[in-house]
């Protein structure tokens, strides 16, 4: 594990709050070591910092009650969705109370005519889309993991469909949230646009629980396309694949998904998912529209791919074949671990202007080779975002040091290319140093907002600023 910085604990306040909450919530307040550890961070190399207790509210009113009690005693509050974040977002460096929102998992309303819905934060993206299926609607944001929608908003998630449908910030109309003093606010209503005051919705999206606890979301929906077509195409090099991506976007093809797998990732997918793909860099694509439109988009991409050495181009509208390909893409984390059994996978992401994508990915591969690291690359490359999964033995200090060097180098390189240290994972604990390098003095204004809204620093302390 990489050691995480601890913050000063308010031991007396925590003890008092646990006593009060135990009387109020009974068995819905848990202090067992295993439950607490599950609610500290476990999906990366950052040290697990467990909360002192976990409470399971059923309503906004109960969340407000918990926060008010914690505010009185200046005890930290850490919101928790499904725990799939990757940068230490749910760690408790000063201890405190974790609010697990998993029991707040109801779809409250679907307004089919307006293409929107209202949900509680514990609803996962898969649950929502299952609920919507018979209504001919879907929610397009797909970060891969079956994350909770509240957590997805808090980390400003995106994923495979972002190139066409945008990220969480583009698909949340308004929020209800409990603020650091326990008061409940609503940041807007269901209108598709508004010029009414500060955009508090966007302020809370991506705030990672440092400004408030999201307790309800109003989301944009999309109609399920008449036709969906997938395609795959292999390329001689990552550079060729990235050049094809850039040409596709510049040509204006409204591609819904365009994903890159480097050679290592293709090898992993073949072994883990039982595929027989050529073991060279690969693009996976999906096209949405009418039957004619989806077919035309696929055909046009095939012509572009030819210009960059693409081969083995295969398009399909078969649901079974499409599902097999995209399931393999979603299983890449587990597949990549098989490249080095027993290793820990350290996932990191960056995003650069699409014109710099080929350069950045190629340099990342070269740097990994220079440091003798196994680091397969996948990416939502239609918007310049890619991930590396560094596979290391955590028991070998030199490997850990080289991995840290690589992650730092990759973040700095993306920033130097006028990109960002994170396209979708968020800052949490892991990327705080790079946020300062990326935004400079702007982080001082973030800190000022944090102080103004949360003067006692009880909302998910130690994250972002």
Q: Does residue 361 sit within a domain?
A: yes
pLDDT at 43: 79
pLDDT at 1: 63
Average pLDDT over residues 319-343: 93
Q: Does residue 458 sit within a domain?
A: no
Are residue 398 and residue 310 in the same domain, yes or no? Answer: no
Are residue 347 and residue 264 in the same domain, yes or no? Answer: no
pLDDT at 145: 86
Q: Which domain holds residue 172?
A: 107-223
Closest-CA residue to 410 (of 372, 369, 355, 365): 365
Q: Does residue 86 sit within a domain?
A: no
Are residue 271 and residue 182 in the same domain, yes or no? Answer: no
pLDDT band at 45 (very low <50, low <70, confident <90, very high): confident
Q: Does residue 57 sit within a domain?
A: no
Contact 49, 76 (CB under 8 A): no
pLDDT at 191: 94
Looking at 409, 424, 439, the residue that finishes a domain is 424
Are residue 252 and residue 146 in the same domain, yes or no? Answer: no
| CATH number of the CATH domain containing 318 | 3.30.70.2190
Q: What is the pLDDT of residues 222-262, one digit of tens each?
A: 999 999 999 999 999 999 999 999 999 999 999 999 999 99
Are residue 272 and residue 349 in the same domain, yes or no? Answer: no
Q: Does residue 138 sit within a domain?
A: yes
Maximal CA-CA distance, the chain: 69
Are residue 325 and residue 277 in the same domain, yes or no? Answer: yes
Q: What is the pLDDT of residues 407-462, one digit of tens each?
A: 999 999 999 999 999 999 999 999 999 999 999 999 999 999 999 999 999 999 99
Looking at 289, 315, 333, the residue that finishes a domain is 333
Average pLDDT over residues 101-126: 98
Beta strand segments in 3-115, E: 29-30, 53-55, 77-80, 97-100, 107-111
Lowest-confidence region among 88-92, 159-163, 212-216, 451-455:
159-163
Q: Does residue 180 sit within a domain?
A: yes
Are residue 287 and residue 357 in the same domain, yes or no? Answer: no
Are residue 266 and residue 314 in the same domain, yes or no? Answer: yes
Q: Does residue 459 sit within a domain?
A: no
pLDDT band at 44 (very low <50, low <70, confident <90, very high): confident
Which percentage of the chain shows pLDDT scores above 90?
A: 95
Which percentage of the chain shows pLDDT scores above 70?
A: 100
pTM of the model: 0.95
Distances from the Cα of 245 to the Cα of 242, 356, 382, angstroms: 5, 12, 6
Q: What is the pLDDT of residues 153-186, one digit of tens each?
A: 999 999 899 999 999 999 999 999 999 999 999 9
Are residue 361 and residue 397 in the same domain, yes or no? Answer: yes
Are residue 119 and residue 210 in the same domain, yes or no? Answer: yes
Q: What is the DSSP letter of 356?
A: G
Are residue 260 and residue 348 in the same domain, yes or no? Answer: no
Average pLDDT over residues 92-117: 98
| CATH number of the CATH domain containing 163 | 3.30.465.10
**Strands 184-186 and 311-316, sheet pairing:** unpaired
Alpha carbons 180 and 459: distance in angstroms, whole number: 6
Domain count within the chain: 3
The DSSP secondary structure of 265-280, one letter per residue, reads: HHHHHHHHHT----SS
| CATH number of the CATH domain containing 387 | 3.30.70.2740
Show the tokens assigned to 384. Answer: 């310049």
Are residue 349 and residue 254 in the same domain, yes or no? Answer: no
pLDDT band at 3 (very low <50, low <70, confident <90, very high): confident
Looking at 333, 367, 389, the residue that finishes a domain is 333
Closest-CA residue to 382 (of 277, 261, 281, 242): 242
Q: Does residue 43 sit within a domain?
A: no
pLDDT, the chain, mean: 95
């Amino acid at each position: 594990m990489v050691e995480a910085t601890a913050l000063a604990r308010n031991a007396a306040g925590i003890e008092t709050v646990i006593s009060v909450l135990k009387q109020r919530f009974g068995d819905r307040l848990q202090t067992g070591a295993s439950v607490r550890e599950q609610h500290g961070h476990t999906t990366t190399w950052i040290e697990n910092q467990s909360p002192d207790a976990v409470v399971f509210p059923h309503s906004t009113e109960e969340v407000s009650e918990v926060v008010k009690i914690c505010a009185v005693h200046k005890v930290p509050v850490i919101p928790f969705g499904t725990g799939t974040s990757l940068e230490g977002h749910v760690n408790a460096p000063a201890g405190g109370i974790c609010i697990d929102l998993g029991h707040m998992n109801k779809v409250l309303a679907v307004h089919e005519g307006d293409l929107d819905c209202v949900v509680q934060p514990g609803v996962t993206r898969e649950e929502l889309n299952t609920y919507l299926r018979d209504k001919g609607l879907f929610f397009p944001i797909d970060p891969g993991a079956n994350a909770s929608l509240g957590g997805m908003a808090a980390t400003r998630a995106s994923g495979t469909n972002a190139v066409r449908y945008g990220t969480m910030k583009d698909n949340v109309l308004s929020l209800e949230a409990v603020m650091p003093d326990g008061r409940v606010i609503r940041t807007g209503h269901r209108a598709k646009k508004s010029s009414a005051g500060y955009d508090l919705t966007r302020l809370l999206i991506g705030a990672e629980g440092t400004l408030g606890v999201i307790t309800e979301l109003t989301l944009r929906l999309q109609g399920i396309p008449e036709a969906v077509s997938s395609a795959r195409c292999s390329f001689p090099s990552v550079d060729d694949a990235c050049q094809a991506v850039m040409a596709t976007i510049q040509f204006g093809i409204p591609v819904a998904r365009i994903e890159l797998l480097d050679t290592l990732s293709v090898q992993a997918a073949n072994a883990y998912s039982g595929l027989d793909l050529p073991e060279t860099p690969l693009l996976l694509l999906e096209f949405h529209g009418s039957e004619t439109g989806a077919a035309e988009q696929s055909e046009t991409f095939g012509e572009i791919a030819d210009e960059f050495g693409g081969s083995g181009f295969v398009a399909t509208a078969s649901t079974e074949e499409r599902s097999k390909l995209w399931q393999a893409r979603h299983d890449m984390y587990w597949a990549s671990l098989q490249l080095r059994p027993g290793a820990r996978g350290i996932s990191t992401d960056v995003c650069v202007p699409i014109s710099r994508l080929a350069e950045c990915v190629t340099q990342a591969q070269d740097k990994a080779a220079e440091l003798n690291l196994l680091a397969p690359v996948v990416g939502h490359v239609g918007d310049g975002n890619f991930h590396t999964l560094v596979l290391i033995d955590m028991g070998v200090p030199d490997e850990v040091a080289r991995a840290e060097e690589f992650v730092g180098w990759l973040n700095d390189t993306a920033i130097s290319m006028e990109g960002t240290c994170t396209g979708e994972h968020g800052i949490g604990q892991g990327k705080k140093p790079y946020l300062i390098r990326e935004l400079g003095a702007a982080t001082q204004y973030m800190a000022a907002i944090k102080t103004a809204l949360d003067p006692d620093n009880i909302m998910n302390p130690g994250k972002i600023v």
